[in-house]
Structure 1
């Protein structure tokens, strides 16, 4: 009962002091789950833009717009989640700041179609600025309440504000140099935490951080299933169902189920013991989450290919699925599996499967072949883990 009451009526205001890094049973809050669900709207818009670009044959422009818009979504989500891990007071000002950041995410989502169609990032940048401004307010609260971490909090606030202003200035630059400015500002944005935490680490919680990334990965995988399901439904409703279409549907399920299995096969919190390890792991999730969402876009484009609405050759129809799946496999292997010092067989198993997935680009039903490769990978990984576990038990 007390927990339910606290969800409805939070304290009016607290000192924003650091959370205990050894706190037991640290779990995601209802506000964080709402944050994820609202952010996935922006993910869905970005993936939908990529789907339409792939299906219409504008692969280069689509990938570039997708990389740029997904960066804004991912980086804003990252900053909120890591701040919450260290300073979540769950009081009224904190909740209002989180809701403002959600509002910014929805503004960003509304601007994504313009970014894809016209390279107009005005609305997207506006949403990004709204999100970042609320985060700066939180860092200033932390600076006022946490004497030990004040320098770090002020560096965060100053760095975010400076880069945020630069994003607005970028909109005024000629289109010819805007891409280079975007690359420079993206590098500056991701450098702020490295600079801010040089002398004092914020009190992020390893279990909480691992859970937050896992939950968001789950939601993104769910969005991929939804996108592919809607595409299949549209084809069936128009009586365009073919063997290729059912191959995409079956292969898509095997792909997403296997991606879930492989991501959660190894616990991440065990090796999140330093800023260096945690930052590399967190930054690597740009590829994990981006490729997971791109799989949904690729499966939707594959449905277009199965129903004759894809503007591209057979290789392109396969690559829209196999390439993001291979990126996901290799990134998850590098971030989640390799740090556990797995056996030699594990070290070659996932990269070998990624190579087979890329080879599936050239077979007649690439989505189904990719799903079969991933299902076999999961089965072999389970057998190896059981054999190694039995050997360790006997030892």
Structure 2
């Protein structure tokens, strides 16, 4: 059902059986604005590692990426159930975009000085704007659906009060306080939907996550390309950088192929399955973005701009690549595997990619070749088994 921005609509739940449910231009614009924050987090991680503060960099990256990821997740699931695409909805979404840009602007200060105040203010803008959407849905709904919307509004608001109380006075909270509030945030959907589940659309949710994966992988390609270009211009080191560039492209290409090899919407049959899958994407998105940062680190080490060992630089690429391979297998690829060989392909490949860390100056290239071989093996195994065991329909071969 086509919807266009116009007069005020009653914000009632959309049907889960709605045909041709696809991402809207506003959702795509929303995603692209989030990439600004993802890029900022990656850049600061690279700087922290280059300045020999890896622990600080990783902690800051994980904290900031949680804020980015969780705000995106909540918007996407709400939109899947209640997108009216009218004027108030569009304006509220644009306000959320302002929030993510504020968050992005605060990332350097959060990394460099431990001052999260601007970041948390941007996060609060995004989250409180979503509260107004839930209140609007509560006004239009009745019964259990209204109760669910009110629980969401109350829970999200309460969490924002907690963030403000812990972060604004000093800017840098203890990590344990951050973890506590993060757990509280992630508990809101489970508690709210006990009254009645929202009518999120499996095909739409699968597409939304897939599109954000593409954007994050694209950011990794962009980051690596800029790093290689800068290094070539400043150091004329094409010979040292070519293996990193080739290996990095093979990793990103394989990551795309592996992620989109199965029609995951068939697996999203209940809140329990969908929530576990959706929450698990923190590792998928975070590792995909970290691959780009790792490639930048490898480039800087190759030209002598980062004072870390070759092995350490390789690890910044191989570890997030292995995490991506393993979490994609855990979340949905394994549900479509048939036989021991297919099931072991991705987890074994993750281990082999980690082992590539110890292969010297060409570690990134070796990791890329392993990823390419993983895809080739997956295609071969599926082709051989296609005529023996029924497999869920897919638009592409599955590794």
Residue 200 of structure 1 is matched in structure 2 by 196
Residue 367 of structure 2 is matched in structure 1 by 370
Deviation at 1:173, TM superposition (A): 5.9
From 126, 140, 147, the equivalent of 1:145 is: 140
| Separation of aligned partners in 1, 2:340 and 2:134 | 44
| Separation of aligned partners in 2, 1:296 and 1:177 | 28
**CA deviation map 1:256-298 (0-9, x unaligned):** 0000000001111011011100000000000000000000000
Residue 282 of structure 1 is matched in structure 2 by 278
**CA deviation map 1:47-81 (0-9, x unaligned):** 11111112222110000000000000000000000
Residue 376 of structure 2 is matched in structure 1 by 379
From 83, 97, 103, the equivalent of 2:98 is: 103
Unaligned runs of 5+ in 1: none
| Separation of aligned partners in 1, 2:135 and 2:339 | 46
Matched, 1:215 2:215: no
Question: Which stretch has the larger CA shift, 164-173 or 57-66?
Answer: 164-173
Deviation at 1:307, TM superposition (A): 0.6
Q: Where does 1:60-75 land on structure 2 (aligned, <5 Å)?
A: 60-75=55-70
Matched, 1:322 2:318: yes
Question: Which stretch has the larger CA shift, 281-290 or 50-59?
Answer: 50-59
Task: Give the conservation status (yes or no) of the 8 Å contact 1:294–1:324.
Answer: yes
Question: Runs of 4 or more off by more than 2 Å in structure 1?
Answer: 172-178, 339-343, 390-393
Is the partner of 1:14 in helix, strand or coil?
A: coil
Between the two proteins, the alignment pairs up a number of residues equal to: 388
From 245, 249, 273, the equivalent of 1:249 is: 245
Residue 131 of structure 1 is matched in structure 2 by 126
| Separation of aligned partners in 1, 2:75 and 2:344 | 36
Question: Which stretch has the larger CA shift, 335-344 or 346-355?
Answer: 335-344
Residue 109 of structure 2 is matched in structure 1 by 114
| Separation of aligned partners in 2, 1:177 and 1:159 | 21
Question: Which stretch has the larger CA shift, 300-309 or 232-241?
Answer: 232-241
Deviation at 1:175, TM superposition (A): 7.5
Q: Where does 1:1-395 land on structure 2 (aligned, <5 Å)?
A: 7=4, 10-148=5-143, 149-172=145-168, 178-364=174-360, 365-392=362-389
How well do the aligned residues superpose, as a CA RMSD in angstroms? 1.5
Task: Give the conservation status (yes or no) of the 8 Å contact 2:115–2:172.
Answer: no
Is the partner of 1:21 in helix, strand or coil?
A: coil
| Separation of aligned partners in 2, 1:338 and 1:207 | 19
Deviation at 1:327, TM superposition (A): 0.5
Task: Give the conservation status (yes or no) of the 8 Å contact 1:242–1:307.
Answer: no
Question: Which stretch has the larger CA shift, 384-393 or 161-170?
Answer: 384-393
Deviation at 1:99, TM superposition (A): 0.4
TM-score by length of 2: 0.95
Task: Give the conservation status (yes or no) of the 8 Å contact 2:166–2:173.
Answer: no
- Summarize the Cα distance change of 1:176–1:130 in structure 2 as closer, same or farther, 3 Å threshold: closer
Residue 395 of structure 2 is matched in structure 1 by none
